[in-house]
Amino acid sequence: MKETKVSCSEISSLNLPEGWSCIKTEGPGPFVTRAILRHPKGTQVNWDSRDHRKHYNLLDRGNKSAWWAPGAIGWWIGILFAFGSICFAAGAAPGYVDWVGNQIDGMTFFIGSIFFTTAAFSQYIETVNTRQTPKGLLLNEKKRFFTWEPRRIDWLASVVQLIGTLFFNISTFYALNSTLTIQQINHHVWGPDVYGSVCFLIASGLVWMEVGHSLFSWKIGNLSWQIALLNLLGSIAFGVSAIAAFVLPLTGQPINLTLVNLGTFTGGICFFIGAVLLLPERTHPD
């Protein structure tokens, strides 16, 4: 940890009341993801970026049930990501395209991308509505729709992931057009797919560092760490799939169709498990 000499100004997501101070902060690079705060009465309060966002949010009006809490935005994020992941895994599953046909298969991916975008936007809204005061104070705070907080690692991750889902929207939408030329496929389908996969990889990497508070960590028993690992693995799988999907002009076929389907299916499964784990994480003891 690094000593903070004057204040907690490095923690841009917190607005500490008068009398509060910061003892220590920790985080990867320029980001602060964990800190020890001092109450005016002298007691110490631990602050963790992800824990604070998931358990101390202005938009969590749900009950304490992990599996049914439609009043909590964190619950909706998990549900929406889970449905989107199912669509991507199903679309790439062996035999699915032969069963439903190319058009329905393409529509499955497009619908999945819409679920992803809705979930990612909800995740951004959750991030900007994290309470800016330490736990226990419950001061009145206004709900927010947009903020500019590039010093927050979770804010950056949510924005980058949202942009990635928009690229997937474009890619899967154009893929519905069966009349595209090879050049058009690579430009309108493959290109956005690669950009979206890169965004997912960057966002997952940021979340991985947020949870582990460093570039490398091993917290196998930690639920948030498990989710971050699954999403990182899923993003890597999506990236492999995207690269292998480039259509070769000479053959008119992807570089490796097996890797395309395997990467998408594996990524979808990883994202699905991670999304399901988001539900108990919301109610998991912090």
**Residue 138 pLDDT class (50, 70, 90 cuts):** low
Q: Report whether pLDDT(4) > 50.
A: no
57-61, 150-154, 238-242: least confident range:
57-61
Count, residues in the chain:
286
Mean pLDDT in residue range 171-188: 96
Q: Report whether pLDDT(3) > 50.
A: no
| Element at 193 (helix H, strand E) | helix 191-212
Task: Report which residue type is found at 70.
Answer: P
Say if CB 240 and CB 246 are below 8 A apart: no
Q: How high is the pLDDT of residue 135? A: 77
Q: How far apart are CA 208 and CA 228, in angstroms?
A: 5
Residue indicated by tokens 């800016």: 132
Q: Report whether pLDDT(21) > 50.
A: yes
Q: How far apart are CA 273 and CA 115, in angstroms?
A: 16
How high does pLDDT run on average in the chain? Answer: 91
Tokens of 39: 């109450």
pTM of the model: 0.92
DSSP codes, 73-133: HHHHHHHHHHHHHHHHHHHHSTTHHHHH-HHHHHHHHHHHHHHHHHHHHHHHHHHHTB-SS
Radius of gyration of the chain (CA): 21
Q: Report whether pLDDT(6) > 70.
A: no
Q: How high is the pLDDT of residue 142? A: 87
Tokens of 3: 């000593």
Q: Report whether pLDDT(141) > 60.
A: yes
Q: How high is the pLDDT of residue 2? A: 42
Q: How high is the pLDDT of residue 42? A: 82
Q: pLDDT by residue (tens digit) across 57-85?
A: 888 876 788 899 998 999 999 999 999 99
| Element at 24 (helix H, strand E) | strand 21-26
Beta bridge partners of 38: 21, 44
For 59, residues 6+ apart whose C-beta sits below 8 A from its C-beta are 72, 73, 125, 126, 129, 143
Provide the residue ranges of all domains of the chain, joining segments of one domain with +: 2-48, 55-283
Residue 78 sits at φ, ψ, to 5 deg, of -65, -45
For 179, other C-beta atoms within 10 Å of its C-beta total 5
Q: Report whether pLDDT(191) > 60.
A: yes
Say if CB 79 and CB 63 are below 8 A apart: no
Query: C-alpha 195: how far from its chain's center?
Result: 16
